[in-house]
Amino acid sequence: MRNNDGLFAVGSPVTHWSVQTSNPVQYEIRACENLLDPENSTILEDASGSSGQRRFIVTDGVVDSLYGDRVRAYFDHHGVEHRVLVLNDGETHKSMNAVLQVTEALDAFGIDRRREPVIAIGGGVLMDIVGFAASLYRRSTPFIRIPTTLIGLVDAGVGAKTGVNHNGHKNRLGTYFPADRTLLDRSFLATLDARHISNGLAEILKIALIKDARLFDLLEQHGADLLRNKLQSPADVGPTPADVPVDQRLAARGLHLDPATEVVERAIQGMLEELQPNLWEKVLERVVDYGHTFSPTIEMHALPALLHGEAVAVDMALTTVMAERRGLVSSYQRDRVLEVMARLGLPVWHPLCTPEVLGDALRDTVRHRDGKQRLPLPVGIGSALFVNDVTDGELAAAAESLAALGSGVSR
């Protein structure tokens, strides 16, 4: 056997080679303010240190109607040649056709893939599409994410997964390909309607239920205000200097982190703590899969009636009831969870919670998780465990209980 830094050759003459290599990954997530201010150059900063003077931007129709003029004016102000590709928005357009639309436009633009990162400005669907296209184009093209929705800011924008729906299944095609940078500007949330704020709050609640009791308390105490104020910080916080984190600035003034900032920070920190050691999902027992066992099937069956976070909320409500029936959660804790969901504007039940749909969902999940259910269930509030023994009868009983409970919980 001959070894040359991870290349092993066996036999003489050689009859077998073994290659061992590594792919270290580093990406940046940065909280920012006023990204589209022409005097703010953050968007143009390239993590590679290069200074390519062209940019290809992908957005969707809704974002373009709200911010398109400002986006174009920003790049014009900096003298940067650019093209803006506007895709159809929404889960029903999250398809391979959209990915190919991006790659064909990249060809027409003639992008320099080393010096001109693609910029995705939009929600979770848009970022998943652009990330998938970037991972495929010339086998990898750097890209930057600028989420404009809450679900993009705390979930889709911070991980490594890309993907599109295919053959009636949620995210059936996709890759692991993190953006070089994700730039988080909460001011974009001010133009969202309440339903889309609720949509993102579901993913925040997920982190709270499986690992952060303090985050749950914040949602319980301030959820209605967060929804109403669209997670904007109080006006007296003022602008954040680029080099001073907001919590340090507030502490220096004898103030506490405002609830909106703390909620977003804890949600992102909690998500990244789970993703970082298992970015490629070699370990299939992932607590961040909580709320994502039954929701993909429910969401795809309900399209376009249910948003992603709404389907996740229904899944979490169902599994909270399952946990209560197993003695993992008290009835008091169960009721608190359902009441917080309602306070956040989230559904706690859906007519698709039938034994047939739930059974199909669980069987598809088992195929995805290498032959085991690996179903996360909450333990109290702020912890979780995995089970592999859920039966069709248990699902039916939990769904029946949830339907009765859901009728008494109003949004």
Catalytic positions: 161
Residue 108 CA from chain centroid, whole number: 30
What is the C-alpha to C-alpha distance for residues 206 and 354, in angstroms, rounded to an integer? 23
Residue 318 CA from chain centroid, whole number: 21
Q: Which residue has the tokens 């974009």?
A: 188
Q: Which residue has the tokens 């998938």?
A: 132
CA 296 vs CA 57, 238, 289, 293, 322: distances in Å: 29, 40, 11, 7, 18
Half-sphere exposure of 207 (CA within 13 A, CB side): 24
Bridge-based pairing of strands 54-60 and 81-87 is: parallel
Angle at 266 between CA 281 and CA 402, to 5 degrees: 75
The 3-state secondary structure of 340-408, one letter per residue:
HHHHCCCCCCCCCCCHHHHHHHHHHHHHHCCCCCCEEEECCCCCEEEECCCCHHHHHHHHHHHHHHHCC
Bridge partners, 56 (sequence order): 83
What is the C-alpha to C-alpha distance for residues 337 and 409, in angstroms, rounded to an integer? 11
304 CB-contact burial (10 Å; exposed 0-12 / middle 13-18 / buried 19+): exposed
Element (H, E) at 312: helix 308-325
What is the C-alpha to C-alpha distance for residues 73 and 70, in angstroms, rounded to an integer? 5
